[in-house]
Structure 1
Amino acid sequence: MAVAGTASDVAVDLDVLGALLRADGVGAVAPFSAVRVGRGQSNLTYLVEDAAGSRWIVRRPPRGHLLDSAHDVLREHRILSALQGTGVPVPAVVGRYVDDGLAETPVVVMEHVDGLVVDRPEVAAATDTALRAALGPSLARTLAAVHEVDVEAVGLADLASHAPYAARQLKRWSRQWDASRTRELPALERLTELLRRRMPEQHELTLVHGDFHIRNVIADPATGDLRAVLDWELSTLGDPLADIGSLLAYWPEAGDPPTGLFAASTLPGFADRRAMADTYLAASGRDAADLDYWHVLGLWKIAVISEGVLRRALDDPRNAADGGPPEPGFVDSLVDRAWATARAAGLDT
């Protein structure tokens, strides 16, 4: 999704960007144009095009006050650079810049990858059932490939702590909730305590994406194979089942109560959550132990992130992506679904 805007809406100086690209040997020809792209509500993402038709994706943190450790595009650049040449499809990195003339924050530039981005209901509705049937398994298999990356070999072994991931996630996102919440939500607080009480033992440590779902990938429009995995800002080292749990959290299926989550996966032809999990488990060789826990934690985390998105939009409306920020009821419905999932799995005992 591209959203046109005026020069004042674009939070990078395009002339400075062109000069920096040329200094790095990239043939960038003025004048430049930029549009906001994607439905993401976190880092600001632009499609930049020069006079010769060359195109790049430019990412920077949102405007305004930033929470500690959030929106780290330089960290994202490091991860993308490390994954070049692995079995994980990612865009090629072009440059990373910390220049006050360009923006008050760091800026990362990467190649533009053509393909299908299923980020709007009308895009999902236009896909045929064969493509829908291919997309879900492709996501699951690609996620398994992410978890196969040898972090020592690609230089990411020191990316994050090796301490148990569930405890780290609960600590980090509880802190984010305390810093960004717009109201009291006792049901979320009780869910946090449940997740602390039922934390599983960690048996392995891999690279995890942290925000893997259908709107964060670019697919081949003919085959459904993934051409690029995007938005690595939450990537870290942790329990690989956390990623498939989050993917399931982002994957509503027909018959679910409405939550406000992007509901492409409810259309006929898309795999259900059980099939998605089975495809991942077969591709990765893992078993389903503790997967329900990570599914619940994924829903909890999306709720916390969504509250933060709402807070940033209230603080500065220019941070809101096309379609606007989530409503408070969206966060409430996610917490309700998390509780329902926990009860169905017997985690609330």
Structure 2
Amino acid sequence: MTNDTLLDTGSLRLREIRETDDTQRDSPDASFVERMRERFPTEAEYDRMLTRKAESRADARQAPSTLEELRAALDAFLDVHVEGPHRVDDMRWLSGGASKLQVAFSLEWNDPLEGQTTSQLVLRMEPQESLNATSRIREFEIINALGEHLPVPRAYWVDDAADFFPQPTLIYALAYGVSKPRAVEGRPTGVGSAFDAELRAELGPQFTAHLAKLHALDAESLDLPSFDLPRVGTTDTALWQLNRARRVWEEDRGEELPLWEVAANWLERNAPELDRVSLLHGDYRTGNYLFDEDDRQITTWLDWERGHLGDRHRDLAWATLPTFGTPSEDGKTLLVSGLVPYDEFISEYERLSGLYVDPARLRYYRILNTFQLIASTLGSASRVIRLGRSHQDVLLAWLEGVVYSLGEELRTSILEEN
């Protein structure tokens, strides 16, 4: 057998292996799912969500839910969960968001806390398969835990097992405000929104103060039963987050990416120990809060689906990612989330929280965050689009375009001197 024949045979075998793996990712069997669980141990609730996602992937493609179908499901849900007469009106789709279906409605009912009233509510439901496999029960718990500490919407009910709705669903209060100045052109998911200097001066301090307050809370005293508690002095939280991203990539990817393996090995070798447990938002940036444009106050923090207990540097690194920032008018300074100069953000956060920001851990989580974004955009988004399992195919396709800048950011970050 000639060398050329050997090469041809080897290439054919490699292609067969890749095609088999890709088929497994389109329709994972029990052995594939169990192999992923064993290779990449993570938090129990994330494991449940990722397992549910994999086990459901072989299900037949569902037609998008109509308002009429959701109205019927909502009526059935409320008949069980609301005492006395009640009526739903004004159901309408809400725009925005890269991964969840959201419907606003009004509910006339006897609220146990407020008496007879009309509440403006939002039904927040998973599509058949989301860009991010996250937990509605954890989102419900974290919003309720923070009601006395930060501006968050009141969470009313959760259908975690999808007993009434087509997919797991959270119902919470409709929040008011805007995610960007009305005069500014909108950007998908709020990334890259521009604010003038006057508005930055009002919103920036609130943006920093809210994160400082969140991280300074005694996280272990909060009622968060579905959250795993990492141990101080261990690498639990870093490895849980790393393994979650690695599992997402291995279950969703459609191609090889050598840089990914280099980054995964670096992240595993350099996982930092936890010095203090904080409650994290997980996606803390412009686009995930609303503000009143008249009084310039942040009215609500939304999208707590990635919230977890862990290292504060994870949120800090996320908020300061260049991907989510904008340059100052002179182009010389990165404005964190379009609001605050980087150095000012870090120093003010330390002053308000009383917590030290470690540059080494900040760098680690910046690399891990970029790693996670690549898993979502190049891995999950590609497969969800191809299988036609989301209502946001156009947006998810747009997100794939940021992979190249993320890859370069990942490469240069790893090569930086410690």
TM-score of the pair, normalised by structure 2: 0.68
Mapping of 1:139-288 within 5 angstroms? 139-156=207-224, 159-163=227-231, 164-249=236-321, 250-254=323-327, 270-288=339-357
Match of 2:166 among 86, 89, 104: 104
For the pair 1:89 / 2:89, whether they are aligned, the reply is no
Structure showing greater Rg: 2
- For structure 1, list consecutive stretches of 5 or more residues without a partner in the other structure: 1-5, 256-262
Aligned CA RMSD, in angstroms, stands at 3.3
Does the 8 A contact of 1:161 with 1:237 survive in 2?
Answer: yes
How far is 1:236 from its partner? Answer: 1.1
CA distance in 1, matches of 2:69, 2:181: 24
CA distance in 2, matches of 1:42, 1:278: 33
Residue type of the partner of 1:43? K
Does the 8 A contact of 2:203 with 2:297 survive in 1?
Answer: yes
How far is 1:49 from its partner? Answer: 4.6
For the pair 1:34 / 2:92, whether they are aligned, the reply is yes
CA distance in 2, matches of 1:31, 1:130: 39
CA distance in 2, matches of 1:13, 1:264: 41
Does the 8 A contact of 1:45 with 1:58 survive in 2?
Answer: yes
1:199-234 CA-to-partner distances (Å, cap 9, x unmatched) read 222211111111111111112324543222111111
CA distance in 1, matches of 2:213, 2:337: 25
For the pair 1:44 / 2:116, whether they are aligned, the reply is no
CA distance in 2, matches of 1:145, 1:11: 41
Does the 8 A contact of 1:12 with 1:102 survive in 2?
Answer: no
Does the 8 A contact of 1:82 with 1:156 survive in 2?
Answer: yes
How far is 1:45 from its partner? Answer: 2.4
Q: Which residue of 2 aligns with 1:73?
A: 136
SS at match of 2:185: helix
CA distance in 2, matches of 1:212, 1:197: 27
SS at match of 1:59: strand
For the pair 1:306 / 2:371, whether they are aligned, the reply is no
CA distance in 2, matches of 1:335, 1:47: 37
Alpha carbons of 1:76 and 1:11: their partners in 2 closer, same or farther (altered >3 Å)? Answer: farther
Residue type of the partner of 2:298? L
1:66-94 CA-to-partner distances (Å, cap 9, x unmatched) read 79x92211221122122222x22210012
Structure whose residues are more often helix by fraction: 2
For the pair 1:297 / 2:365, whether they are aligned, the reply is no
Residue type of the partner of 2:282? G
Mapping of 1:127-146 within 5 angstroms? 127-146=195-214
Does the 8 A contact of 2:384 with 2:390 survive in 1?
Answer: no
TM-score of the pair, normalised by structure 1: 0.81
SS at match of 2:287: helix
SS at match of 1:227: strand
CA distance in 1, matches of 2:367, 2:212: 20
Alpha carbons of 1:131 and 1:321: their partners in 2 closer, same or farther (altered >3 Å)? Answer: farther
**Percent of matched pairs sharing the same residue:** 24
Does the 8 A contact of 1:72 with 1:233 survive in 2?
Answer: yes
Residue type of the partner of 1:302? L
Q: Which residue of 2 aligns with 1:259?
A: none
Q: Which residue of 2 aligns with 1:55?
A: 120
Does the 8 A contact of 2:102 with 2:125 survive in 1?
Answer: yes
